[in-house]
Structure 1
Amino acid sequence: MTQAFHFPELVWDWPIAIYLFLIGVSAGLVMVAIYLRRSLPEVDVTRSPVMLTTLWLAPASVALGLIILILHLTRPLAFWKLMFHYSFTSVMSMGVMLFQLYMLVLALWLAMLFRTDLLRLLRRWLPPLAAIAALLDRVKHWQASLENIMLLLAALLGAYTGFLLSALKACPLLNNPVLPVLFLFSGLSSGIAVAMLAAMRSEDKRFMHRLHWLEKPVLIMEVFLLLALFVGMLLGDEGKLRALHAAMGGGFWTQWFWWGVVGVGFIAPLLLRGWLRRPRIQLILACSCSLLGVLMLRFFILYAGQMTVA
């Protein structure tokens, strides 16, 4: 097991896997929140537990992920340079730009959604800034356009984590065009799981119904993309075949994939929903397994993908 987590080719280790997971949760949760707003236009979703969870968790998970990434850098104190010096040939630099746009639009979007609450808080605690919240109320007709931009940025952020790993061109498993789309849908799966856990506190059953409806196609796409990833490697050159054999030919990471990603992430939630007759416990366990499966997928792709260098 020590060799599975420590080998000469390893460049990015477990903190990066957690960073990738947190970014996927934020992007997925935002996309789910927008989907609920648009599929239930007659409901004030800003009062729903799902939107309140998005208010806190979406920015917090990105912030925590960035802190983990910065501390993992060789020179963490030099990270500020990436925030002001952009390079369109660097995946990391483009990612920093995307993070900045994402957080800015996310803050504006959430501020417009909760502008009434924001205005009340500012009037009580920071009266000089109350005009800002009032301005948001005047430009609320821009909310639909801002939401479209927010949805696009969330999708790009979810896919970006896959593009980041694809930058390791020497690793045949990681240098794969399927990876960004796979990470996008697995992040969306984690967002659905978090939203379901939040929707348990809502008396309106329409939220849970919509989430269950969304969950099925996302799960099917996730399985399809995993198959496409492995089939593409099977039909690839010698480097991809060696990478596929290293990842899936037996050993620790093969067991991790079948027992963790497939067993815990895919099969366990289905079995729990079919066998367990206590809905609340069933949902908590199933969503927890889904989240753990997404995290284990990040670990598998990251570590198994670096085991083989072309």
Structure 2
Amino acid sequence: MKMPRDLAVFRRRIVVVSAALIALCTAACMALLVTPLIDADMTARRHMLEEFSNQPFDIDRTAADSEADGTSGLVVTGPDISWCRVAVDESGEAGAVECGGAAAVDRLSESVATQLVSLRDEVGSQPFSFDGRKWIGLWQPLGAQNGAVTVSNGSVAAVETAPSGIRVYTFLDVTPHGDYAASLILRCIASGAVIVLCATAVAAFATTRSLRPVMEARKRERGFVLSASHELITPLMAITSACDVLEAETAISSDVSDDLSIGDSSVGVDSLSRWLGIIREASDEMARSISDMLRSLDGGV
């Protein structure tokens, strides 16, 4: 059954509004789901950075291992973990550099490490870009432990002040965090698109089923109007024909009376003409109404 144009427009509006509302709800739900996951991943990496920072760091051993193209005692393994540690003297110059990890970060020179330290001092604990990658970092003062110079095990938050003295910076590459967030967002967008498309299809189907009784009522109404219009055409034609005959007879009677000079018959003729005019006007109005109804049905309104 073909849907009338006005009902089709109404159904389209319902489907569009439903799709928009479903899209907004899906986006809100996805945001509520994704945001904690992204924050949890960054929090885990910050905790990892704190653990790295609290590991012993022997400047003399690190310098010797660097000359031998090796690393100091810190060993970190993981699928996406890259790190760097830099010892800085009181003047702010890098004295020892150590780095490694799964991403095969190039060994940093002392001058490049100094730039990394300067960036950390500028942005604080927020992620920053360096050499095409994202990093987070923190610093802790050096302390003595077991005869070796090591990083203090004090609270990391307690040293979020202006860097001073001999200290060690620990940096962690968080570029994989951005990749993780991007992939998570893309998966959510794809899932949300599928959900919206499926929900839109269901809304279109449900709307069509809901409007089916209206379409059937429209069909019955159309049939009734068509039947009534055709039924009225016959008596209307009879009235119109009768009016034509009466008008013709009235005209003939008037001409004959004038020719024969039979008294004054204008009163009767005028009265008959007046009533014929009323009948003619009513029949014309009925004809216009029937034409309007048939025209509206033909237009599908």
So what's the TM-score if we normalise by structure 2? 0.25
Higher strand share: 2
Larger RCO, structures 1/2 (Cα 8 Å, 6+ apart): 1
Higher helix share: 1
So what's the TM-score if we normalise by structure 1? 0.24
The structure with the largest alpha-carbon Rg is 2
